[in-house]
Structure 1
Amino acid sequence: MARFLLVHGSCHGAWCWRDVVPILERAGHEARAIDLPGHGDDTTPAAEVTLDLYARAILAAIDEPVVLVGHSMAGYPITLAAQMAPEKIDRLVYLCAYVPKPGLSLADMRRAGPRQPLLPAIETAPDGVTFRFRPDMVGEKLYHDCPEGTVDFANAHLCPQPITPQATPIAELDRWNGVRKHYILCEDDQAIPPEYQAKMTQDWPEGTVTRLPTSHSPFFAAPAKLAERLMEIATT
């Protein structure tokens, strides 16, 4: 039996794992999805949300070592959590996620990418504290291969994304280096370019990078395939 802790990406919440958690549980595993501070049902004011707060929320949700899965933006907080308390992490799984480099924020890494396909879908709030995804573009950028009804469901749940966590670099990754890692690259991703995902993991050991033929949202597009892949990773 494996223990999974699932962490969402920008503007999302625990709700995005609705189809994956039951599959993992039916297979005999423990699976839990959490809302990061300022997301979903968590009421932390956006102006108070930090990358450190994200990481501490993740660690607070862990009683025994877990397979920690981070989607997209969550590559940063799961990395910081592993840097802070590697003994709590059995292994890390980056699901079409940013893999941090020391001294670079997520925003820095996004700008360093070969292209930024998600940029037209982002609207920054007038106060500069948050951004959101344009409702008319999320289908094209995030859910284009997902079942009917996904866009409406997502638009009813998507929330403003605090900007500070994405503008914060991680200074050191020495303790993170010793944690086992796996990357799931999504080949039809219209948010984080697949070629950039490949570049971020180009020096990873053989067998630690696998692929799914999906969009940026495999938890909706192919939940059974994603769950199967996570179980394979957890038991390998």
Structure 2
Amino acid sequence: MVHFVLVHGACHGAWTWHKVKAVLESGGHRVTAIDLAAAGINMKRIGEVRTMADYTQPLMELMASLPQGEKVLLVGHSLGGLSLALAMDSFPQKISAAVFLTAFMPDSTHSPSYVLDQFSERAIADYWLDTQFSSDLDPVKPATTMFFGPKFMASKLYHLSPSQDLTLAMMLMRPGSFFQEDLSKGKAFSEEGFGSVNRIYIVCKEDLAITDEFQYWMIENNPVKEVMEMKDADHMPMLSKPNELCSCLVEIGNKYS
């Protein structure tokens, strides 16, 4: 039995994992899908969440609560990869492996914002389509928030997912942030913490949000133990290819737990 801890991407919530959670639990595994701060049914508002550490606090509290000797398999989707990195840096001894699922994966050389900065630099002019951005003027901790637009979601995130899942997402979406301003000021993740955990990357070949080209660039920038590929999977593989994703996760769990 593996204890999977599932971490969602920006503007989403634990609800994105409902298919995967059901399949893994039916196989006898333990699954914890969490809402990060100001996401899903977490009561905070994005305006109260100033840093990536604030945003990731629910995951850090879960990791701190694990009994001594218990290890979990962390799975981070999209922006959830940065939350994984924070947990890996602080609790490496409690993690059997960390799975980056078409996720932003930092390194232990550059600042924590490096992969997001590279992503922003490479994005084509109209990449974000109807996504809304707003910046506040807080002089100490400025923050830019975002809210994915319907066109962006339909064409970049959910283009191979069932239409019902896109409809549900549009009803449950909440404003989020990349916390780039905050991450750009942080120290690099450590080799002793972050760098010591087994990392596996699952590439989604048909992802139009974080393209497979950029996924492979991140893997080259910070090589991992293992790379798995999911064909015909969009940016939301937990919805477009839940059974295939579960097969990958169980295989990883059996190997590293």
- Preserved contact between residue 11 and residue 39 of structure 2 (Cα < 8 Å): yes
The answer on whether the counterparts of 2:38 and 2:45 sit within 8 Å (CA) in structure 1 is yes
2:103 is matched with which residue: 77, 97, 103?
Answer: 97
Name the count of aligned residue pairs: 235
RMSD over aligned Cα atoms? 2.0
Distance 1:195 1:125 in 2: 29
Per-residue deviation at 1:157? Answer: 0.6
| Alignment correspondent of 1:66 | 72
Q: What TM-score comes out, normalization by structure 2 length? A: 0.84
Are 2:2 and 2:29, in contact at CA under 8 Å, matched by a contact in 1? yes
CA distance in 2, matches of 1:111, 1:129: 13
Q: 1:114 to 1:122 in 2, by over 3 A?
A: closer
1:82 alignment partner, one of 66, 88, 112: 88
Q: 1:65 offset after TM fit, Å?
A: 1.7
Q: How does 1:1-236 map to 2 (within 5 A)?
A: 1-49=1-49, 50-62=51-63, 63=66, 64-101=70-107, 102-105=110-113, 107-113=116-122, 115=124, 118-125=127-134, 127=136, 129-164=144-179, 167-169=182-184, 170-173=186-189, 174=191, 175-202=193-220, 204-205=223-224, 208-213=226-231, 214-236=233-255
- C-alpha offsets along residues 67-108 of structure 1, whole Å, 9 cap, x if unaligned? 000000011111011111211211100000011133141541
Give TM-score scaled by structure 1 length: 0.91
- Describe the SS at the equivalent of 2:239: helix
Give distance in 1, aligned partners of 2:22 and 2:249.
Answer: 13
How far apart are the structure 2 equivalents of 1:56 and 1:109? 26
Structure 2 unmatched runs, 5+? 137-142
Which SS does the other structure have where 2:163 is aligned? coil
The alpha-carbon distance between structure 1 residues 201 and 163, as it changes in their structure 2 partners (threshold 3 A), is: closer
How far residue 168 of structure 1 moved from its aligned partner, in angstroms, is 1.3
- CA 119–73 in structure 1, closer or farther in 2 if over 3 Å, else same: same
Task: Supply the distance in 1 between the matched residues of 2:162 and 2:177 (Cα, whole angstroms).
Answer: 28
Query: Which shows bigger deviation, 53-62 or 112-121?
Result: 112-121
Consecutive unaligned residues in structure 1, runs of 5 or more: none
CA contact (8 A) 1:129 1:164 kept: yes
- Contact 2:129/2:151 (CA < 8 Å) preserved in 1? no
Q: Distance in 2 between matches of 1:5 and 1:144?
A: 26
